[in-house]
Amino acid sequence: MVSSWRRVEDNAIPARAKITGAYVNSALAKTEAYLAGFDEAVVLNEDGQVAEGSAENIFIVRQGTLITPPVTANILEGITRGTVITLARDLGILVEERPVDRTELYVAEEVFLCGTAGLSPVVEIDRRKIGTGKPGPIFLRLQELYENVVREKVEKYWGWCTPVYSSPSP
């Protein structure tokens, strides 16, 4: 759902800084969504434009173009967001970083969120079905590539991955 809570302005608590106190804003939005029967909140900035999810970056697809709010929209400059943008361009998908109006969420062919846990499709916002009501083709392509990249199955991106080894037992 689109939350009634707004993203805190950059001059108050910068979202790109991942400051602990800023998580109160996200918690309020997430709690509001949960209590209203939704899984997640979409937060608008003070200009009334889409910023991000409560703790994830957001992408929409319109006419085959992948669109995400710019970093100037009071969003976290997420590592996964940057990864998705790069992977999309590598797949030949046109990417635009620009302001996104709330109503664009309702007419988008696809919407998805991304963050540390990966990519998550959004199939409904404010009880309005997005596209076909199922994960769309651009999301599915990006999700498959992303999952293969993080599991070191795509040699081109091996430099992005740092192996983590378990320590020997004492």
Q: Residue 18 catalytic?
A: yes
The separation between the first and the last C-alpha atoms of the chain, rounded to the nearest angstrom, is: 49
79-90 and 137-150 helices, crossing angle to 10°: 110
Classified as helix, coil or strand, 45 is coil
Q: Residues 34, 59: contact at Cβ < 8 Å?
A: no
Q: Rounded to 5 degrees, what are φ and ψ at 113? A: -115, 155
Residues marked active site are found at: 18
